[in-house]
Structure 1
């Protein structure tokens, strides 16, 4: 999910240019970000989804009962024993749509954030608009990441609400026992049940947790990727000077393994730093609804209940497997996105 950058860490022109490149409109750049971000997001979701299912089941264990799972491996074994390996992909249709929406929204709003900072004149230069000399520093890219995540959270909350209820079928949808769990296996019955009992507002249950996770996490995601990319370029430059190699234009591109390292580090930062907010959100979104269900807790109420049950470690339940899954997932997302941007630029 990394915009192409200069050695200073800012935005640079897209690859494949000639001596007099045709100007790229903001509309074409936005379409490219949305299309390629969606493709990369779908690839990453297929890689990470089984880990995400285990994570949600660990996070959503009731606070008034003994823990069902002793840890990630135990949860994985029990899940495979009960539903088979394909059971870990239960409800993936909604998250695939969510992954496309998430990445499209992230790139769209991140581009608008950069455009707003350019328009403010704080980092303006004497060069023409859009040239590499008008690069943004790393601090500004962390800020645009936070802005992008905050706006994207409003898109993600309804999608993740449906996903979480499908991933944890034992939390009855209606609170009436077994009847609700069967309906929770497919997105449409879940959507209808939420609408019937809570209306439109019910789809944003857990919004505060998503907002905290996405605004802080995406600042770390974009910012960490750009920071590691800059460090890699500086390291490559020192190596070139050590062997007295002449710098060439194509040397600015990172090798594939360095792109993967930068992407993986960004994913780990995103998932670890704001994991407690995600835990509380998952517990809120897997709580039963409807007649016979207990009154749903607020974000603060869910925090208090979890703290009383398990203390600080309860907020990090499932964190290890979540950070682990982000290594291949984020690496592939960045590699796919950067590769499409480099080799298939839209004209």
Structure 2
């Protein structure tokens, strides 16, 4: 690129003469070594490889390449985020909300029992002897309604979680695989695990409040707002994010197994029924596929859920401290306390979740075909 200069020796009364001065030999040599400005900025990798291939010897050139790479990387991230946002579909969000309502009211009694079994003191005489004993004592001492204790925060948590989960799942499929593409079981599992990152961040505050309300016998009189105030007073605003690491550790592998196994089970039912589309599956087969996927996935990730519950009830516990405390007092069996209630509850809850999701998609398809 030529540098334009005004000739200082132009006649004083005549017009200014503008001449193009060629780069000096030193400038040519440095430009050949650094290649600055000699290529299109298309991808950050091009800047990095150019920097290494030309063996940059000058700090300014290194900074120039780094700046170009950073700008291009930032641009690509913005494009990816914009593409994901543009790929959001209201049908995915609505189906997630409907599935969440089905999920909560079908599985909340088992969830209440699971949390109580997980968080009872291991050093004193256990308050509950097991799943059936916990159900019986809860109903006798606190009424049947207590089995749905924490329903409002549980419902809000489930709606947020599943709306985000299924919205992100649908958007990621369209961004990386295209609309209408049929995915393999592994692809379904990978997209599901990536979606779990978004849902984990969204649900943690509601999960903390739900665990507090489910654990304390007189929490119902406290209410959601007073429970939130109590958590903030004890641990600050960050107390509402207690157990986030454990939630991520639970949800990412859980959703990997959950979506992958759901795809696997529905494929098997489709083969048995001789049909080609999941939309044609009988609702009972959808219910069974979701239930089996949920029960299997919970078994795999249950230790992380135990740690998550401990951290959210006692917000002062760190992840490592919670693991050490369970291991020291209860051993390996402590990581599976409440497993039976979780697995028994996950079958109807997760079965109803996918049933709600699939039926909502079918309803949208029916309306679209008749419009």
TM range (shorter): 0.7 to 0.9
Aligned twin of 1:41: 100
2:344 pairs with 1:324:
yes
Which has a greater percent of helix?
A: 2
Larger RCO (alpha carbons 8 Å, 6+ apart): 1
Quickly say closer, same or farther: Cα 1:63–1:334, change in 2 above 3 A.
same
Aligned twin of 1:130: 179
Aligned twin of 2:171: 112
Partner SS, residue 89 of structure 2: helix
What TM-score does the superposition give when structure 2 sets the normalisation length?
Answer: 0.71
Quickly say closer, same or farther: Cα 1:319–1:184, change in 2 above 3 A.
farther
Quickly say closer, same or farther: Cα 1:182–1:235, change in 2 above 3 A.
closer
Quickly say closer, same or farther: Cα 1:182–1:139, change in 2 above 3 A.
closer
Which range moves more in the overlay, 193-202 or 212-221? 193-202
- In structure 2, the gaps of 5 or more residues are 1-84
Quickly say closer, same or farther: Cα 1:251–1:95, change in 2 above 3 A.
closer
Q: Given that residues 91 and 167 in structure 1 are in contact (C-alpha distance below 8 angstroms), is that contact kept between their aligned partners in structure 2?
A: yes
Matched residues in 2 for 1:183 and 1:327: separation?
A: 27
Q: 2:198 aligns with which of 143, 151, 162?
A: 151
Aligned twin of 1:203: 240
Quickly say closer, same or farther: Cα 1:250–1:195, change in 2 above 3 A.
closer
CA shift for structure 1 position 101: 0.6
Matched residues in 2 for 1:43 and 1:250: separation?
A: 23
Quickly say closer, same or farther: Cα 1:312–1:57, change in 2 above 3 A.
same
2:364 pairs with 1:344:
yes
Q: Given that residues 63 and 305 in structure 1 are in contact (C-alpha distance below 8 angstroms), is that contact kept between their aligned partners in structure 2?
A: no
CA shift for structure 1 position 85: 0.6
Aligned twin of 1:63: 122
Matched residues in 1 for 2:355 and 2:346: separation?
A: 14
- In structure 1, the gaps of 5 or more residues are 1-25, 119-128, 171-180, 238-246, 290-295
User: Deviating runs (4+, > 4 A) in structure 1?
Assistant: 26-29, 181-184, 249-252
Deviations 1:237-263 (A, max 9, x none): 3xxxxxxxxx8x789711222212211
Q: Given that residues 204 and 240 in structure 2 are in contact (C-alpha distance below 8 angstroms), is that contact kept between their aligned partners in structure 1?
A: yes
Matched residues in 2 for 1:66 and 1:221: separation?
A: 36
CA shift for structure 1 position 304: 0.9
2:147 pairs with 1:88:
yes
Q: Given that residues 210 and 277 in structure 1 are in contact (C-alpha distance below 8 angstroms), is that contact kept between their aligned partners in structure 2?
A: yes
Matched residues in 2 for 1:182 and 1:229: separation?
A: 41
Q: Given that residues 91 and 364 in structure 2 are in contact (C-alpha distance below 8 angstroms), is that contact kept between their aligned partners in structure 1?
A: no
Alignment coverage as a number of residue pairs: 284
Answer with 1 or 2: which has the greater Rg: 2
Query: Pairwise CA RMSD of aligned residues?
Result: 2.3
Matched residues in 1 for 2:317 and 2:360: separation?
A: 43
Quickly say closer, same or farther: Cα 1:95–1:150, change in 2 above 3 A.
same
What TM-score does the superposition give when structure 1 sets the normalisation length?
Answer: 0.76
CA shift for structure 1 position 200: 2.1
Aligned twin of 1:271: 298
Aligned pairs for 1:1-347 (under 5 A) are 30-118=89-177, 130-131=179-180, 134-169=181-216, 185-237=222-274, 253-287=280-314, 296-345=316-365
CA shift for structure 1 position 105: 0.8
CA shift for structure 1 position 184: 7.0
Which range moves more in the overlay, 63-72 or 187-196? 63-72
Q: Given that residues 169 and 185 in structure 1 are in contact (C-alpha distance below 8 angstroms), is that contact kept between their aligned partners in structure 2?
A: no
Q: Given that residues 233 and 252 in structure 1 are in contact (C-alpha distance below 8 angstroms), is that contact kept between their aligned partners in structure 2?
A: no
